[in-house]
Structure 1
Amino acid sequence: MPSAAIPAPPWRAPKKTPAARQPLSAEAVLSTALRLVDKDGLDALSMRRVAQELGTGAASLYAYFANKDELLEQLLDRVVGEAPLPRADAPDWQAEVKRSCFASRNVFCAHRDIAKVARANIPTGPNSLRYTEALLAVLRGAGIPDHICAWAMDQMSMVIIADAIETAIHVELGRRTEADAAPYLNQVRDYLASLPADEFPNLVAIAPAMIEGSGDERFAFALDVMLDGLARYARPAGGAA
């Protein structure tokens, strides 16, 4: 009668439990990729890493995505889809645009540095198109000329992406909260205040103001400046050009 299983020698490294193979689909790939970005950031993402998480080979992913760039493009669109669409029937178009920009920025900030994918790219995925269409409806509904609407979309996107990327960098540097950032900002304030006043009178004078305001307050200020400018072009629907 055979004896019980012979145990392995104690000096041998224990075998790793193989990753459970998940049903492969485009949705599974995107979900896994986003989870990896949330955990380790965009630079750590690779087709090989995603495949390992799914218990398959990198070649299997190319049945769904031609390359990493295509994966990133669809990943960005998935994140955009988390933001609520602007409402064209909102009673205050400026408040609605501001609310929408804050929501978009918060969605990007919730996913580490995924906003980097949007740099120098015009998102054209289905969620991005729906969001753009909805925001354009708000702007055009305010009577803003078409070419100003187009430029405004571009500039607001840049402000949102830049703010989200800066937030991600602060997080990477350990400044996850306003309190975390305070020691660094106070150093900057004190340094500016210590500059030779005869050479840098303005920097010395406003050194405290240079670091005032939370991230939300500064983002709101940027939006207010843009919206105040856009309001110059707004006219009642059906009004004269």
Structure 2
Amino acid sequence: MNPRERRAARHQLPSSEAAAAPRPRRRKAPITVEQVVRTALDVIAAEGYEALTMRRLATALDTGPASLYAHVVNKADLDELLIARLCAEITLPAPDPSAWREQIRDMCGRLRDQYLKYPGISRAAFAMAPTDLETVRLGEGMLAVLLAGGVAPQDAAWAIDALLLYVAAYCLEISVMNQRKVDSEAEWVVDTGELRRRLAALPATAFPHTTRYAAELTAGEGHDRFDFTLTLMIDGLASR
């Protein structure tokens, strides 16, 4: 099989015959897709997603870039494998009509936590058409919960897209902010106290609301804003 055929095979449920088929024995253990994904995640955890290139990954695997293409089609294919691996870590709940809001919030929170383990990795989720079975599995689980909660199918379908987009964007922003903390010249951008003082010091005649509500504009700790936005989105679904 060429790499594209192998990629297509990953998106299919294994048949009993395929699962039982013996694999040819080789004299030397080859690099596997599992090793590629695990090593790529290690690189991201240590150096950030921006550091992950096919050449950097090949170096980490002690091989040449060309050998990677025997397992992945291109960087986009690798991105899909990485996101799928994180989705595989999320346990799907049995849809509960009385607790569907909490279940959706919990799934989004778990995905957020997976993304934050690997700085910048949520960038890989943008503009990605999900075809890997693990990624589709998460979407299936979210759809089942929303439908059980009485959300209309079209609303549920678009809501999943919006929720996943928000989770990815939220995590990417945190990654960018953490990187800015390394740059002392940009430290004030991520210093809440300093930002609040700058807003409050603006001319009140030109910025009456900004100066008055500087504390509210800069409030929030941990994932307060994340929880607020998710609740806002989910309550909006319920009202429809």
Identity %: 34
Verify: 1:118 aligned to 2:125, yes or no.
Answer: yes
- Residue 197 of structure 1 corresponds to 204
Verify: 1:45 aligned to 2:52, yes or no.
Answer: yes
Deviation string, structure 1 residues 26-79 (Cα, Å, up to 9, x no partner): 111111111111111112112122222222211111111111221122112112
Q: Which structure has the larger Rg over C-alpha atoms?
A: 1
Verify: 1:209 aligned to 2:227, yes or no.
Answer: no
The DSSP-based 3-state class of the residue aligned with 2:181 is coil
Q: CA deviation at 1:120?
A: 2.1
- Residue 136 of structure 1 corresponds to 143
Give the counterpart letter for 2:215 in structure 1.
Answer: P
- Residue 162 of structure 1 corresponds to 169
Conserved? CA contact 2:98–2:149, under 8 Å: no
**Structure 1 207/96 Cα, relative in aligned 2: closer, same or farther at 3 Å?**
same
- Residue 75 of structure 2 corresponds to 68
Conserved? CA contact 2:44–2:118, under 8 Å: yes
Alpha-carbon distance in structure 2 between the residues aligned to 1:82 and 1:181: 36
- Residue 102 of structure 1 corresponds to 109
Unaligned runs of 5+ in 1: 1-20, 234-241
Verify: 1:229 aligned to 2:219, yes or no.
Answer: no
RMSD: 2.0
Larger % of helix: which?
2
Q: CA deviation at 1:186?
A: 1.1
Alpha-carbon distance in structure 1 between the residues aligned to 2:98 and 2:189: 38
Unaligned runs of 5+ in 2: 1-27
**Structure 1 22/91 Cα, relative in aligned 2: closer, same or farther at 3 Å?**
farther
**Structure 1 99/198 Cα, relative in aligned 2: closer, same or farther at 3 Å?**
same
Alignment size in residue pairs: 209
Q: CA deviation at 1:87?
A: 3.0
Conserved? CA contact 2:80–2:128, under 8 Å: no
